[in-house]
Chain A
């Protein structure tokens, strides 16, 4: 009974904080209506945004007002995980409503599109040539918000619970400054500064304001939704590509690295493992793509180099903007893109994938293990990596977690690709598209379209969600709900002998 009371008290506090996130989500869904000032003729779609957004915001506010704890509560990571799982489920559903109402999608397609938005993937089944400005802006805002993370936004806006339980549950454990709330505010301001700079830069590079806003939002969030079917390729402009590439790279940089950059700590940035890995992978990717595919595809050297650079950055940063079609890419180039998508962006950034940090750590572990073989049997060695200004020891537990994560990621990747194969797609298409969904990238070889069977869409939806939340959170959240649910419903008397 005591346990039941305790759980009820905890869940009341969790529901209150859930309310805050839902309130925020509701506002985000209403946000695109600001476009009505410029395009009042789209006013008949208002209710598809106002109704779901308004009722969710009202529900959230009600939850918060009725259940809010008298004193701030600190949440543990599993409790944070429960909140996050519910919040993302709500986001997927409520984000889908306007898409069903105004863009003519069925339920599976709408949920797919909304998930692709919130998880900053960028795979799309919307026909953007027919979609209204409201819908296009709705997609971009979902990506912008999803890139920061729902928990981070809520913590920055309202304060929320004490401690790191909630932000850790969404995979944003590392902090810039030694207080969680201030750290989240700092992250959100840096992020907002990126987005604003991006809008201005793209406008100056030749887009109109609406396209600039949408593409800036979707580039810094490493999302990749576009307002044109040809994506960035529509403009075919070196200037726009030159502006988009830094935006994508900024979005994929670890916020800690950005913060070090902003404080002028160049040495820390240059010693950073992720930056070094990126400095290795980008040239390799560019040259493979150039030699194996684009050099033969385009007559001019400039164009083929531009495409190779843009596609490599887009895949590694998990953005998913494209300037060409990949159908004519040969096996080597396709495999290179798949590899880049699997590696993904920086940890604690808006990007997805396995994350550069984990790959870098595994590479270092390989070197350490190799060196250990050469050392005397009793030698004691302590693996270290560069932190901000000194070497930090690495403990075995974190290496183990990284190993498990990569294993899980690859298992999921292969089983998902098999699943797509079952629907009749070719081997390379299945591998490419599933790597793209799981890594929340958004590059597509055409598997995802308006005619894709809904079962395949659901598989990709699940992949995007798991990829964004890094599996464990979803698992922990669900297991905790089930465990606690047993306590709450009824304490079943265990039969004894």
Chain B
């Protein structure tokens, strides 16, 4: 069964590789830089945005995309990152409110089809869902994981 799962996973990776996407990553912190490095290494066109130029030091040699210094809350910055052409935008900034706003602007103003936002506060996920924005919550992921492993031990 393990092998089976592995092959499906690889197939998924291959499918993503076959079509290269244009992805905008907002925030180059721990999560943002991880995503930007990985996606660029997989062959996607990546533009990463951060307010501080020093944040880009976290990018590895694998990264070959563009870096934009600016506040993603300003639509000028998103325009500079060519968000209107993006297939996907990932809001991975530290603050939930920033992510919510960036995701909304990307969805409604720049008409990005696929917007994923990181949410620290799980209670807010509902609000995002109503706005038709995909969310990832590290808090609820970690919580679920711990709960599940405790349940298995029992």
Residues of A within 8 A of B (CB): 72, 74-76, 162-165, 175, 177-183, 389-390
Query: Which residues does B use to contact A, with CB under 8 Å?
Result: 20, 22, 40-41, 43-47, 60-66, 76, 80
In the bound complex, residues from chain B placing their C-beta under 8 Å from that of A72 are 41
Whole-angstrom CA separation of A183 from B43 in the bound complex: 12
Tell me if A181 and B47 are in contact (CB < 8 A). no
B44 and A179 contact, CB distance less than 8 A: yes
- Kindly provide the distance from the CB of A256 to the nearest chain B CB, expressed in whole angstroms: 12
Whether A163 and B45, one on each chain, are in contact in the complex, defined by CB atoms closer than 8 angstroms, is no
Specify which chain A residues have a CB less than 8 angstroms from the CB of B80 in the assembled complex: 389-390
**Are A74's CB and B62's CB within 8 A?**
yes
Q: Which residue of A lies closest to B22 (CB)?
A: A178
Q: Are B47 and A178 in contact (CB under 8 A)?
A: yes
User: Cα distance A172–B65 when bound, in Å?
Assistant: 14
Q: Select which of B22, B41, B47, B66 is within 8 A of A162 by beta carbon.
A: B41
From the candidates B44, B60, B66, name the one contacting A163 in the complex (CB within 8 A). Answer: B60
On chain A, the residues within 8 Å of B44 by CB distance are: 179
- 8 of the cross-chain contacts (CB-CB < 8 Å) are A162-B64, A163-B60, A163-B64, A164-B63, A165-B61, A182-B45, A183-B64, A390-B76
Kindly identify which residue among A75, A76, A179 contacts B40, using a CB–CB cutoff of 8 Å.
A179
A175: chain B residues at CB < 8 Å are 64, 66
Residue of A178, A180, A182, A389 with most chain B CB atoms under a 10 A cut-off:
A178
Which 4 A-B residue pairs are closest in the complex by CB-CB distance? A180-B64, A178-B65, A74-B62, A178-B66
Nearest CB to that of A167 among chain B residues?
B64
A389 to B45, CA, bound (A): 20
Cβ-closest chain A residue relative to B40: A179
- How close is B62's CB to chain A, nearest CB, in angstroms? 4
A163 & B43 in contact (Cβ 8 Å cutoff): no
> Which applies to chain A's interface (DSSP): helix, strand, loop or mixed?
loop
Q: How far is the CA of A178 from the CA of B23 in the complex (A)?
A: 9
Contact in complex: A164, B20 (CB < 8 Å) = no
B62 lies within 8 A of A163 (CB): yes
How close is B3's CB to chain A, nearest CB, in angstroms? 19
* A178 and B24 alpha carbons, distance in the complex (Å): 10
Inter-chain CA distance A75–B64, complex, in Å, is: 11
Check if B45 sits within 8 Å of A179, measured CB to CB. Answer: yes
Say whether A181 contacts B61, CB under 8 Å. no
Which residue of chain A is the closest to B46 with respect to CB atoms?
Answer: A178
Enumerate chain A residues within 8 angstroms of B61, measured Cβ to Cβ.
Answer: 74-76, 162-165
CB atoms of B65 and A179 under 8 A apart: yes
| Residue on A nearest B63 in the bound complex, by CB | A163
Task: Give the residue name and chain of the A residue nearest to B67 (CB).
Answer: A178
Question: Shortest Cβ distance from B70 into chain A, in angstroms?
Answer: 10
Report how far A175 CA is from B40 CA in the complex, Å: 14
Contact yes or no, B20 A74, CB < 8 A: no
Residue of B whose beta carbon sits closest to that of A390: B80
Q: List B contacts of A182 (CB < 8 A).
A: 20, 45
CA distance A181 to B42 in the complex (A): 11
Min CB–CB distance B40 → chain A (angstroms): 7
In the complex, what residue of chain B is closest to A387 when comparing beta carbons? B80
Closest to B80 in A: A390
A186 to chain B, nearest CB (A): 11
For B20, what are the chain A residues with a Cβ–Cβ distance below 8 Å? Answer: 179, 182
Q: Are A74 and B66 in contact (CB under 8 A)?
A: no
Q: Other CB < 8 Å A-B pairs besides A181-B43, A181-B64, 4 of them? A: A163-B64, A175-B66, A178-B46, A178-B47
Tell me, rounded to whole Å, the shortest Cβ–Cβ distance linking B23 to chain A: 9
**A72, A74, A175 pick with most chain B CB within 10 angstroms:** A74
CB distance from A266 to the nearest CB of B (A): 18
A180 to B65, CA, bound (A): 7
Minimum distance in angstroms from B121 CB to a CB of chain A: 31
Which chain B positions have C-beta within 8 A of A181? 43, 64
Q: How far is the CA of A180 from the CA of B44 in the complex (A)?
A: 10
Judge whether A179 and B43 touch: CB under 8 Å. Answer: yes
Which of B60, B64, B76 has the largest count of A CB atoms less than 10 A from its CB?
A: B64
Chain B's closest residue to A393 (CB) is B69
Contacts of B46 in A (CB 8 A): 178-179
| Alpha-carbon gap, A179 to B40, bound state (A) | 7
In whole angstroms, how far apart are the Cα atoms of A14 and B31 in the complex? 30
Q: How far, in Å, is B74 (CB) from chain A's closest CB?
A: 12
Chain A's nearest CB lies how many Å from the CB of B46? Answer: 6
Q: Which residues of A contact B45 (CB under 8 A)?
A: 177-179, 182
The chain A residue with its CB closest to the CB of B41 is: A162
Q: How far is the CA of A74 from the CA of B63 in the complex (A)?
A: 9
In angstroms, Cα B81 to Cα A178, docked, is 10
